[in-house]
Structure 1
Amino acid sequence: MVEGSELAGTSVRWLTATQLHKGYAAGTLDPVEVCEQVLAAIEELDDQLNAFVSVHRDEALAAATGSRRRFEQGRALGPADGIPTCIKDILLTRGHPTLRGSTLVEAAGPWTEDAPAVARLREGGAVLLGRTTTPEFAWKGTTDSIRHGVTTNPWDPGRTAGGSSGGSASAVAAGMSTWSVGTDGGGSVRIPAAFTGTVALKPTYGRIPLWPASPYGTLSHAGPMTRSVRDAATLLDLIGVPDDRDWSHLPTAGMPSLAGLDDGVAGLRVAFSLSLGWDGVDEGVSAVVTQAVQVLADAGAVVEQVDPPLGERAVLEHAFHVLWFTGAAKVLRGYGEDVLDRVDPGLARQVRRYADCSAQDYLDAVSVRMELGRAMGAFHRDHDVLVCPTMPVAAFSTDRQSPPGWSSDLWTSWAALTYPFNMTQQPALSVPCGLVADGGHAGLPVGLQVVGARHTDALVLRVGQAYEQATRWHTLRPPRSTGASTGMSTGASSATPTPSTTGDP
């Protein structure tokens, strides 16, 4: 484990949504002043990070002004009121184009509807700052596109922020937004969370309604992206309510994510796997995650080192590819016969590769998925949660599509710890658990992934909260994202973070 930088200064833009809400209610914080600080950070930092597709300054300030008035009058709309929020440029936002990282999409509109999660945030008084970057049609695990260029990592702008919700993760990690909503079809909120030292949850499928329906089908989830587990639980409860545009949404009865959040892990049966039975996990990552699991054991969890029953990697990977890239082909259908000449070459290559998949091939892939779901259901009879690394490596260079020395540039080859749980629709949470030295870099974030049985979102969050409360990794701020006016840390601290006993203020 290596040393990292801690939060320097007291800029309000680093406060969690929970802290901001308490400050607004007490009259000690002003939504407009918070919004102005966050907008100043975007203006100063985003030229380097390229996390935003568009920033809606006037709208954000108007929303913050409305929030200030409501708090002054004692009629706040709830926990999202006045909270600086960004939205991945995959989810519809009324009045603004959803470009999806593609030159194929015309910006003209009209753009008249909000996606369900965006609608709930707007109704709750959130300050919608703008829209964040994604690779073309959210197809891969890095965030770069022909239309918007490369999104970088606040911990090192020469490194990827991950993807496909990389813009959201970069913005949250750099203090350019308090929280965000991303999408995750194979790891797309968890990959960038691990790379940027933030928190992200892929909930049980259907917990957060999606509309329009994803072409990737029931692999695709929406999920909260935050700087604390409590904020993730709060945001999940806010946006995870039924919307009749999504016929597959789940009911909310009995699913409050904040209930029991602080109940700890004593007596919980935790399965620990360093690699899910596969290879390729970096030694430094393994060491950090092993220490993180010891924190859970010290808190009273009953930890057993065991690999989950995922089956043969090649079989699972092929099944995912069939489901994923036939979905990608559906995205591109209708944009013209030459469409594959006008998109990300990597996307075009994979669509061509799977172009001849038959209905039988698709059903065979569904069968693999169903068997995996059955096997994981049985696994969780004996194990309350599974914990493992979120990513096998730290963030790599932005000029690469895979880590150095990797056997393949296809993102699924290095995101094999995340996409299986999209196939099973299980809740999976990534929380920051340490830093590793890499390629001369003093410290890059590592994520701990907590996976539960379907519908156990609250339990997964509870485990993440217990870990977070016993450590301080979630309080670290990127040392490379400098700026005097933004209050960001300008160098490495000499102190390694120690366990915190204070919890969320």
Structure 2
Amino acid sequence: MDPLLSMSSSQLRTGFASGALTPLDALDATLAQIDAVNGDLKAIVAVDRERATRAAEAAGRRWAAGRPSSVLDGIPVTVKDSVRTVGLPWRHGTAANDGLPDCDGDSPPAARLKEAGAVIVGKTAMPDFGMLASGVSSLYGITRNPWDLKTSPGGSSAGAGASLAAGIGWGSVGSDIAGSVRLPAGHCGLVALKPTQGRIPHLPSSTVRSAGPIARTVAEAAELYSVIAGFDARDELALPPEAFDPGDDLRARAEIRGARVGVLLDMGYGYRAVDEVADVVRRAAETLAAGGASVEQVPPPFEEDPYPALDALFQVRARTEWEAFGERDRRRVLPQLVAWSEGANRLSATDLERAVGAVGRSRDRIARHLAGYDLVLAPVIPVVSFPAESVGLEPERPLAHSGYTCWFNQTGQPAAALCFGMSGGRPVGVQVVGRRFADQRVLAVTRWLEEHRGFEPDWPLVPRGTAVPVAV
């Protein structure tokens, strides 16, 4: 195994600066790892060797001259299939889009990465339309988790999670509408941030979907955040730029002592965290309490099930994309997604408006419920894992197990995921939620927890376990 794969981005930069390493060395190690493990994972779905090589060569010249563009200059990274990037395909995870021409424009995250000198190696897998919290796609097949190839890497940024855990690249940009950067981080032992809505520009503009950084460490996620959070006027909902130097000591911003922390283990509906997951969240809470935080358990925010209305909005979103295809291409979309989205056919315009109103009231309810806390700790997913072939815990409602993550897209709050425990050789994550616009503090608290968790993940650079191939 190439020792480069076990280095941090900071160690790479030290090597670049001294001349002991070059960005081409890092790229070569990344490409070799793709060749070695991607056949098992199905995580990387497009590689741009030519452009990546040119970018690495240019970065090498800047480092040799002592003028790197940013902390990401020369660092190999990937982007999700849904992040439009010049010269790479955009398929949105579905076979119905296979054959579209490669992108001729860069989305805001891709543009910021290129300006920073990052080396975009390729695209990562996602499920059809990004509307599943798993790695099952009609185009890409089944993406698998390198911690245990029988299990799912989560989704919808499935390929980002699987590839990073297996040592491919030093960061990835995903997107999150119900948990899609945090869920793969939870499954794969990674760090991810769903930022305050508008903090990271993305297209099309959305009040609930955000691009977000995913990495193996908080420091590396913060470096990505510092770059892709750059303002872009093309996103009319983009927030004004904020000052953030990822080289600063994040811990100084954590402000653990005296912080009021709520522990949210029961939403009052849906899937509750299994004991192995709840224990990890409690251990994180105890760690914060030992650091001087005031910690208390939060009662369930919901007395009645709020999910049907949100599920209706998800169904309409998926059905709208499906209906844009002709009859032949509609048959190429993942059957499980098509079957679930058929529920949208039963909705009238007034039904949809009522669902929008109900989701808004639920959003306001949970925001009020948590308003007294500086930070909230919660599970990322309610279970440790599920089979790679599954579209979710509940095929009839494939996003239903995202109950701990989806509402923070609605409230617009920043929420990070961090591996804080292991169960049966598989990672267990904890979610750190902050007040709106407190993204940097969320990263700082997550970094503090990372430093106090008592272990470092033993990354599966050689994927573990075996899997019997199953057709989608």
TM-score (norm: length of structure 1): 0.86
Contact 1:257–1:461 (Cα < 8 Å) also in 2: no
1:378 matched residue in structure 2: 368
2:450 matched residue in structure 1: 468
Closer, same or farther: CA 367–255 of 1 in aligned 2, 3 Å: farther
Greater CA deviation, 326-335 or 115-124?
A: 326-335
Return the match for 2:399 from 395, 412, 420.
412
Per-residue Cα deviation, 1:166-209 (whole angstroms, up to 9, x for no partner): 10011111101110000111111111110000011111111111
1:235 matched residue in structure 2: 224
Greater CA deviation, 474-483 or 281-290?
A: 474-483
> Is 1:477 matched with 2:459?
yes
Contact 1:401–1:410 (Cα < 8 Å) also in 2: no
Instruction: Quote the offset at 1:306 in angstroms.
Output: 1.1
Distance 1:374 1:256 in 2: 33
Return the match for 2:439 from 449, 457, 460.
457
> Is 1:139 matched with 2:131?
yes
Number of aligned pairs? 462
Letter in 1 for 2:350: Q
Distance 2:388 2:367 in 1: 38
2:437 counterpart SS class: coil
Letter in 2 for 1:352: E
Greater CA deviation, 76-85 or 56-65?
A: 56-65
Return the match for 2:378 from 369, 388, 395.
388
1:152 counterpart SS class: coil
> Is 1:272 matched with 2:263?
yes
2:97 counterpart SS class: coil
Distance 2:303 2:358 in 1: 9
Sequence identity, in percent?
35
Distance 1:359 1:258 in 2: 50
Instruction: Quote the offset at 1:95 in angstroms.
Output: 1.1
Distance 1:158 1:305 in 2: 34
Contact 2:187–2:429 (Cα < 8 Å) also in 1: yes
Letter in 1 for 2:261: V
Instruction: Quote the offset at 1:284 in angstroms.
Output: 1.3
Instruction: Quote the offset at 1:38 in angstroms.
Output: 1.4
Instruction: Quote the offset at 1:286 in angstroms.
Output: 1.5
Distance 1:258 1:350 in 2: 45
2:207 counterpart SS class: helix
Letter in 1 for 2:63: F
Instruction: Quote the offset at 1:267 in angstroms.
Output: 1.3
Closer, same or farther: CA 79–107 of 1 in aligned 2, 3 Å: farther
> Is 1:362 matched with 2:352?
yes
CA RMSD of aligned residues (A): 2.2
Contact 1:155–1:196 (Cα < 8 Å) also in 2: yes
2:41 matched residue in structure 1: 49
Return the match for 2:410 from 415, 423, 426.
423
Distance 2:171 2:218 in 1: 11
Per-residue Cα deviation, 1:338-394 (whole angstroms, up to 9, x for no partner): 654331112111221112323322322232333333334434442101101111111
2:324 matched residue in structure 1: 334
Closer, same or farther: CA 418–260 of 1 in aligned 2, 3 Å: same
1:247 matched residue in structure 2: 236
Per-residue Cα deviation, 1:290-340 (whole angstroms, up to 9, x for no partner): 112211111111111113524522xx2112112212111222232124654
Distance 2:52 2:96 in 1: 28
> Is 1:211 matched with 2:203?
yes
Distance 2:243 2:461 in 1: 41
Closer, same or farther: CA 482–312 of 1 in aligned 2, 3 Å: closer
Letter in 2 for 1:163: G
Closer, same or farther: CA 258–267 of 1 in aligned 2, 3 Å: farther
1:100 matched residue in structure 2: 92
Distance 1:147 1:101 in 2: 6
1:129 matched residue in structure 2: 121
